[in-house]
């Protein structure tokens, strides 16, 4: 599945052609998960953890989670988010008159999340670079997801926004519910002293 890894740069320099590739090759869902989506999540989490370890941190140690447990939590939450969004996009296709195939929905979500996964690593850069670049990656992923649902799933023009919003809303509920429980169940994933609870992504 070497063609899929071209999305690392393709989503930035040739986004339309990259989306067309994911539609043309129509990868089987298990192969896509094992050969692209899963490895991308792991690479993003590991690279982000490594980058954060090299960046000076002004917060006291007790406010930071343990690196390995938090990496496990982060990878699992991102995987659940991808699967939840793909499942929502798949089952809502019939309601919004799109092409209902889980493999296509997973392909659309996987390619759309590439900028967000890269932004997860760039977030380790010091201010004022890291946070804006990470937010830009997330914003671009959301824009790319709309285009991916339209192109890869074949959503009709009048139904695209409704399908997009409903899929995001359903996936957000799943990620929030899973993340809230997982951060408490995985030892070391939560810091001893919390400065906030909005770190489910």
Residue-wise pLDDT for 114-146, tens only, equals 999 999 999 888 778 888 999 999 999 999 999
Does any domain span residue 168? yes
Q: Please, what sign has the CA dihedral across residues 16, 21, 27, 31?
A: negative
What pLDDT, on a 0 to 100 scale, did the predictor assign at position 97?
Answer: 79
* Apex 102 CA angle, 120 and 77, nearest 5: 30
In a domain, 7, yes or no: no
199 pLDDT above the threshold of 50? no
CB-based burial label for 185 (10 Å; 0-12, 13-18, 19+)? exposed
Q: For residue 193, which phi and psi values (nearest 5 degrees)?
A: -120, 120
Q: Structurally, how many domains does the chain consist of? A: 1
166 occurs within a structural domain: yes
pLDDT at 100 > cutoff 70: yes
pLDDT of residue 161: 94
pTM score of the predicted model: 0.87
DSSP state of 63: G
Question: Structural domain of residue 134, as residue ranges?
Answer: 28-55+68-185
Indicate whether 198 belongs to any domain. no
């Amino acid at each position: 599945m070497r063609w899929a890894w071209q999305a690392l740069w393709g989503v930035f320099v040739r986004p339309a052609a990259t989306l067309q590739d994911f539609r043309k090759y129509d990868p089987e869902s298990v192969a896509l998960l094992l050969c692209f989506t899963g490895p991308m999540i792991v690479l993003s989490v590991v690279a982000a953890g490594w980058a954060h370890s090299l960046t000076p941190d002004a917060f006291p140690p007790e406010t930071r989670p343990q690196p390995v447990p938090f990496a496990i939590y982060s990878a699992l939450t991102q995987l659940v988010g991808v699967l939840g969004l793909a499942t929502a996009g798949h089952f809502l296709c019939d309601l919004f008159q799109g092409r209902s195939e889980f493999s296509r929905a997973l392909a659309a979500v996987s390619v759309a999340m590439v900028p967000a996964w890269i932004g997860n690593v760039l977030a380790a850069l010091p201010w004022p670079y890291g946070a804006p670049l990470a937010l830009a990656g997330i914003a671009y992923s959301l824009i790319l997801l709309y285009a991916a649902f339209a192109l890869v799933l074949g959503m009709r023009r009048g139904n695209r926004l409704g399908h997009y919003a409903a899929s995001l809303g359903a996936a957000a509920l799943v990620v929030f519910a899973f993340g809230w429980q997982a951060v408490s169940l995985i030892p070391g994933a939560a810091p001893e002293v919390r400065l906030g609870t909005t770190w489910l992504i």
